[in-house]
């Protein structure tokens, strides 16, 4: 599927991607062909059921354990593995039932075999660096932009975790000292400005309307672009940009935003799609934000994105950046967004860094788990 260069060994890798809403398992052969793929709903509120779900999926995807060389598990949110006494527990996960739970230990005990575990941003970065858009680059910074903002660093095909495992967590770099409050307890974090929920919140502040990212962007190319908007150097023109959400779902609903009083909406998530639109359909008939507000919203977004990513480039000087997560399919990122990043990088020698759309899409996490 991806390349075929190695002699067959008859050994396989199993990868599991434990997501907030779904859990997926694949069986991968030594040439990176996906032989089997199974998906099920994540029982996210029940830790014991999560453990059972993962072990069942592994048994189902690989009924012959003797042929499995390794098992990798990709965990959700900004989770990382933290040494706590003799057990590793999960911290900083946005799946509450996993908080402080020894998932690694419990899975190994249930499966009676060794497994490896890594957070989803690192799995994404690894998969894209080895088999995706970052293949061939020595140092790759993988970016997740969706419900949260995270990242992973891969050097020479290996994840760089750092001393305590927080390498790449640029979502909690401080952008504005007196800025927005963040769940991490500090203020002004990158995530509080450029995550999906943060952008939706800012849109509401500017326009008084509650909209999902898809609703904000759908059909509004003319609000976000001017004829004289410059586009950047990867050849995309503003007219060809896709300003819709990640599933490119254009159902003609260009301005279905709700007034402030409607509390029934779902937040956007890493897969921005129709499900983020309130099925009750209580949309206001008010017009969308004015062009000025739309332009302010866009400019603030890319200004914050630009400073956030430029800071990373100044420190890491990677060979490529790969964008992932639910917001990464938004076309404006690849011209106006990249232009903003390039303008803020310290050295003009580094400002030509390739900033690329991911290639593996939703499969990056589960493939990365196999490569751990």
β 149-155/139-145 pair status: antiparallel
Q: Quick one: 91 or 172, whose CB is closer to Zn ion?
A: 172
Is residue 220 involved in binding Zn ion (CB under 5 A)? Answer: no
CB of 177 to Zn ion, least distance (A): 13
Among 70, 91, 104, 172, binds Zn ion (CB under 5 A): 172
Secondary structure letter of residue 70 according to DSSP = E
The structure tokens listed for 38 are 């199974």
Q: Quick one: 123 or 189, whose CB is closer to Zn ion?
A: 189
Measured CA to CA, the distance from residue 164 to residue 272 in angstroms comes to 32
Please work out, in degrees rounded to the nearest 5, the angle formed at the alpha carbon of residue 163 by the alpha carbons of 157 and 165: 65
Binding segment (CB under 5 A) for Zn ion, from list 89-97, 106-114, 186-194, 288-296: 186-194
Give the bridge partners for 23, in sequence order. 18, 40
* Helix, strand, coil fractions of the chain, as percent rounded to 5: 35, 20, 45
Contacts of 146 (CB under 8 A, 6+ apart): 195, 196, 268, 269, 270, 272, 325, 326, 327
- Residue in 46, 42, 45 with CA at minimum distance from that of residue 73: 42
Q: Quick one: 16 or 199, whose CB is closer to Zn ion?
A: 199
Binding segment (CB under 5 A) for Zn ion, from list 165-173, 225-233, 236-244, 275-283: 165-173
Is residue 189 involved in binding Zn ion (CB under 5 A)? Answer: yes
Q: Quick one: 201 or 253, whose CB is closer to Zn ion?
A: 201
Task: Please give the torsion angle defined by the CA atoms of residues 289, 293, 296 and 300, in that order, rounded to the nearest 10 degrees.
Answer: -50
Binding segment (CB under 5 A) for Zn ion, from list 26-34, 109-117, 167-175, 236-244: 167-175
CB of 216 to Zn ion, least distance (A): 23
Q: Which of residues 232-291 bind Zn ion (CB under 5 A)?
A: none
Binding segment (CB under 5 A) for Zn ion, from list 35-43, 188-196, 278-286, 358-366: 188-196
Q: Quick one: 45 or 267, whose CB is closer to Zn ion?
A: 267
**36-65 residues labelled b (16+ CB within 10 A) or e (exposed):** eeeeeebebeebeebbebbbebbeebbeee
Is residue 182 involved in binding Zn ion (CB under 5 A)? Answer: yes
CB of 8 to Zn ion, least distance (A): 46
Is residue 184 involved in binding Zn ion (CB under 5 A)? Answer: yes
Q: Quick one: 182 or 372, whose CB is closer to Zn ion?
A: 182
In the complex, which residues of this chain contact Zn ion (CB under 5 A)? 172, 182, 184, 189
């Amino acid at each position: 599927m991806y390349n075929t260069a190695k002699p067959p060994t008859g050994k396989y890798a199993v990868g599991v991607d434990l997501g907030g809403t779904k859990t997926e398992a694949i069986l991968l052969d030594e040439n990176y062909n996906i032989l089997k793929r199974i998906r099920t709903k994540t029982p996210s509120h029940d830790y014991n059921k999560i453990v059972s779900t993962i072990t069942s999926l592994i048994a189902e995807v690989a009924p012959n354990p003797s042929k499995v060389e390794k098992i990798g598990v990709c965990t959700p949110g900004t989770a990382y593995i933290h040494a706590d006494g003799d057990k590793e527990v999960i911290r900083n996960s946005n799946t509450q039932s996993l908080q402080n739970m020894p998932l690694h230990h419990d899975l190994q005990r249930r499966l009676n075999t060794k497994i490896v575990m890594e957070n989803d941003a690192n799995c994404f970065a690894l998969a894209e660096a080895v088999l995706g858009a970052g293949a061939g680059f020595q140092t790759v910074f993988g970016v997740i932009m969706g419900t949260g903002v995270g990242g992973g660093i891969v050097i020479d095909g290996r994840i760089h975790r750092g001393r305590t495992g927080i390498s790449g967590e640029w979502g909690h770099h401080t952008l504005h000292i007196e800025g927005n409050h963040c769940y991490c307890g500090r203020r002004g974090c990158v995530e509080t400005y450029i995550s999906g929920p943060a952008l939706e919140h800012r849109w509401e502040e500017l326009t008084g309307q509650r909209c999902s990212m898809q609703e904000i962007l759908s059909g509004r190319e003319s609000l976000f672009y001017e004829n004289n908007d410059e586009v950047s150097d990867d050849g995309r023109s503003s007219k060809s940009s896709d300003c819709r959400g990640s599933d490119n779902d254009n159902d003609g609903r260009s301005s279905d935003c709700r007034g402030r009083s409607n509390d029934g909406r779902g937040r956007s998530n890493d897969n921005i799609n129709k499900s983020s639109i309130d099925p009750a359909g209580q949309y206001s008939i008010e017009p969308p934000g004015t062009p000025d507000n739309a332009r302010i919203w866009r400019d603030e977004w890319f200004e914050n994105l630009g400073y956030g990513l430029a800071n990373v480039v100044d420190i890491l000087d990677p060979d490529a950046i790969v964008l992932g997560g639910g917001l990464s399919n938004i076309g404006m990122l690849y011209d106006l967004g990249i232009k903003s990043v390039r303008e803020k990088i310290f050295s003009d020698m580094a400002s030509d860094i390739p900033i690329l759309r991911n290639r593996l899409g939703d499969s990056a996490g589960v493939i990365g788990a196999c490569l751990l």
